Amino acid sequence: MTKIIQHALVTGGAGFIGSHLVDALIEQGARVTVIDNLTTGKMENLQDAGARVHFVEGDIRNRGLLQQVMDGVDVVFHQAAVVSVPLSVAHPLDSAAVNETGTLEVLEAARQAGCRRVVLASSSAVYGDDPELPKRETMAFGPLSPYAVQKMTGEYYAGLYTKLYGLETACLRYFNVFGPRQDPSSPYSGVISIFLDRAGAGRSPVIYGDGEQTRDFVYVRDVVSANVCAATEDTAAGKAFNIGTGKTITINRLWQQVAELAGIALAPDYEAARHGDILHSVAAIDAARRDLGFSPEISFEEGLARTYAWYQRQ
């Protein structure tokens, strides 16, 4: 059975993925509240939503505030996080405070408020570098960074909250998400945002390693659809799902496509592979197809063209 979302809370709703989710929820007629501390989120990401979103600036670890924004909410989409893997390696306590304790705060506040379901943003990082491909949800966890341990722990807590308190949860293991509003400004930003930024500036990109590593890039709108289904479908409760496309592209090919789009011919600079970089990553999405009715609709080429157009307008 499919349930309707009446009042959603999006943590991290001013961020890249969260803000797209906000737009989609509003379009569907849901009431939407956002809590975001604007550390990496930006108000301009909520421009389209405008006055239709109830925006609250604050941290998910502010218990009183969290209780307030949870009032009357039936579905929580927990997108707030410190998303950088290398940052979690450099500052494990700071990232754990948000990704682990913050997630527990969100689950606990949702339990106390009597929310129906919490959808958590997890990550393909939980699989580590298990060479078996594609990654399946039945594979063992193999976290290789504090970030991965934190996401894994969030999934364990979600499962516990279902068992102990009957709070419905669903976890989405994002693969490499891309699209408009992804911020290219950090060296650890998504590679597509960095490449598009470089191409726009007529500068060569850096490719770490030989560029033959592969990734499963999924367009943000498809990730949003997966979130909505994870909140509305009865079959999603209590489960974790890979959210990718099942297809891959090498980083070399990615730059070729970006250069073609931009109409430039710039050779990349090659540098040593990043410490801990995994070689190949691709999702098996059978479970998401079956239980969420998930089907990626935006092809990689189409998504890249849309994202390029967006960066050009910026």
Segment interacting with ligand UD2, rule: CB under 6 A, options 51-59, 135-143, 190-198, 287-295: 190-198
Quick one: which of 158, 160, 163 has its CA closest to 230?
A: 158
Residues 112, 43, 301: CA angle, nearest 5 degrees: 100
Is residue 141 at the binding interface for ligand UD2, with CB under 6 A as the rule?
no
Instruction: Select the residue interacting with ligand UD2 from 32, 96, 191, 261 (CB under 6 A).
Output: 191
User: Do you know the residue count of the chain?
Assistant: 314
Binding piece for ligand UD2, criterion CB under 6 A, among 52-60, 66-74, 117-125, 220-228: 117-125
CB of 142 to ligand UD2, least distance (A): 11
131 is written with which tokens? 């060479």
Catalytic residue among 127, 147, 161, 219: 147
Please say whether the beta carbons of 308 and 258 come within 8 A: yes
Q: What are the backbone angles phi and psi of residue 67, rounded to the nearest 5°?
A: -60, -40
How far apart are alpha carbons 76 and 61 in whole angstroms?
15
Round to whole Å and give the CA distance between 202 and 224.
Answer: 32
| Minimum gap (Å) between residue 216 Cβ and ligand UD2 | 9
Please, what is the minimum distance in Å from the beta carbon of residue 146 to ligand UD2?
12
Interface region with ligand UD2, contact rule CB under 6 A, candidates 16-24, 207-215, 241-249, 293-301: 207-215
- Degrees to nearest 5, angle at CA 222 with 45 and 41: 20
Angstrom distances, CA of residue 89 to CA of 22, 32, 127, 144, 146 = 30, 34, 17, 10, 6
Nearer to ligand UD2, 157 or 175 (CB): 175
Does residue number 190 form part of the binding site for ligand UD2 (CB under 6 A)?
A: yes
Query: Is 207 a binder of ligand UD2 (CB under 6 A)?
Result: yes
Residue 278 makes contact with ligand UD2 by CB under 6 A:
yes
Cα dihedral across residues 240, 46, 261, 206: positive or negative: negative
* Binding string, residues 240-269; x marks residues near ligand UD2 by CB under 6 A: -----------x------------------
Among 11, 150, 176, 242, binds ligand UD2 (CB under 6 A): 176
The residues that bridge with 56 in the sheet, in sequence order, are: 35
| Cis peptide bond upstream of 146, omega within 30 | no
Give the amino acid at 105.
E
Contact call for residue 173 and ligand UD2 (CB under 6 A) = no
Give the residue with the Cβ less far from ligand UD2, 225 or 242: 242
Write out the H or E segment, with its range, that includes residue 223.
Answer: helix 220-232
Q: Which is nearer to ligand UD2, 8 or 194 (CB)?
A: 194
Single residue of 10, 25, 83, 98 touching ligand UD2 by CB under 6 A: 83
Is residue 301 within 8 A of residue 257, CB to CB? The reply is yes
Binding ligand UD2 (rule: CB under 6 A), the pick from 14, 21, 49, 194 is: 194
Does residue 147 have an active-site annotation?
yes
Query: What x-and-dash track marks residues 208-237 binding ligand UD2 by CB under 6 A?
Result: x----x-x----------------------
**One of 277, 297, 301, 302 touching ligand UD2 (CB under 6 A):** 277
Q: Which is nearest to 60 in space by CA: 81, 83, 84, 87?
A: 81
Nearer to ligand UD2, 5 or 254 (CB): 254
The crossing angle, in degrees rounded to 10, of helices 220-232 and 16-27 is 60
Report the DSSP pairing between strands 214-215 and 249-250: antiparallel
| Catalytic residue positions, numbered | 147
The footprint of ligand UD2 (CB under 6 A) covers 83, 85, 123-125, 176-177, 188, 190-191, 194, 205-208, 213, 215, 251, 274, 277-278
